[in-house]
Homo-oligomer: A and B are copies of this chain.
């Protein structure tokens, strides 16, 4: 079937390449990597084996035309591009599958193309774009797939099969939004504190950066869990996000925080995606990962002091002059 990949960073390229290798007609919408991928294809290196594919390459969505399925792997900071990039690819029944992080991406697609044409996938994968046209697969790869605001349909199962047969571990969730919230219980403390640690512990408590102090090297997951003060912040944030999820209608087991902390210890020194973006001077996905979830959680009226303070620091860090 005809698949368009919009947002050919590490995520979109990786899953697009897998589908292409499995025999699908996959079109990549590219910008800076257009020439090299057009000329040399895309290479995926991995401990599970390396492979190379030659996707159809386009610079403008009009060159691709209508697709059966659009994989959206854009950074959520580029979501304002949806109205320019997606309509040329969209027929009345085209499936829009966002593989992006956090909350609010499906809603944005639904507003443009109708909620019935929107699916979301939570990706559990560690990837790195090591050079133009070269994606390094580090670990994992699973997608948890769901319909936007409704239970799974036969077509959800069919999309899941499409990924499975491309060698991607995939499962269907009856509640996409719950799955999104569950992932945030990890992302908000580890992505958030990872970046915020650059401003120091006091800043994270206070909710604002002291501009007179230099930034420090930010913390990996391992460092966050190695210091009792930071580990306490991790747990407090997790509990606030669990409260936020509950206020949004998604009750979670009390042991979830404990389980995630334990699992993260085993992962070693992992740098969350927002931390990598921060270190590379790239835009931070604050809206979908931190601010929109906080807005939704706030509706309950409950106090979320750690989360509010974290967002304050992240907003300031994202706007440091000289950052892109």
Contact = CB atoms under 8 A, between A and B. Distances in A.
A52 interface: no
Interface in A47-74: 68-69
Interface string A164-183: 11000000000000000000
Nearest to A157: B1
Interface in A118-165: 153-155, 157-162, 164-165
A80 B95 CA distance: 36
Contact of A158 (B1, B23, B94, B164): B1
Contact of A93 (B23, B93, B154): B154
A76 B24 CA distance: 34
A3 to B, nearest CB: 10
A101 to B, nearest CB: 24
For chain A, the bracket of interface size reads: 20 to 34
Copies of this chain present in the complex amount to: 2
A interface secondary structure, majority: mixed
Contacts of A158: 1, 68, 155, 158-159, 161-162
A22 to B, nearest CB: 8
Contacts of A23: 164
Interface string A195-218: 000000000000000000000000
Interface string A280-297: 000000000000000000
A16 to B, nearest CB: 16
A159 B158 CA distance: 7
Contacts of A160: 1
A187 to B, nearest CB: 30
A144 to B, nearest CB: 16
Contacts of A153: 68, 93
Contacts of A159: 158
Nearest to A160: B1
17 contacts: A1-B154, A1-B158, A1-B161, A23-B164, A68-B153, A68-B157, A68-B158, A69-B154, A93-B154, A94-B154, A95-B154, A154-B155, A155-B155, A155-B158, A158-B158, A161-B161, A165-B165
Sorted nearest first, the 9 A-B pairs with minimum C-beta distance are A1-B157, A158-B158, A68-B154, A165-B165, A93-B153, A155-B155, A68-B157, A95-B154, A93-B154
Given A1-B161, A158-B159, A165-B165, 7 more contacts: A68-B153, A68-B154, A68-B157, A93-B153, A95-B154, A155-B155, A155-B158
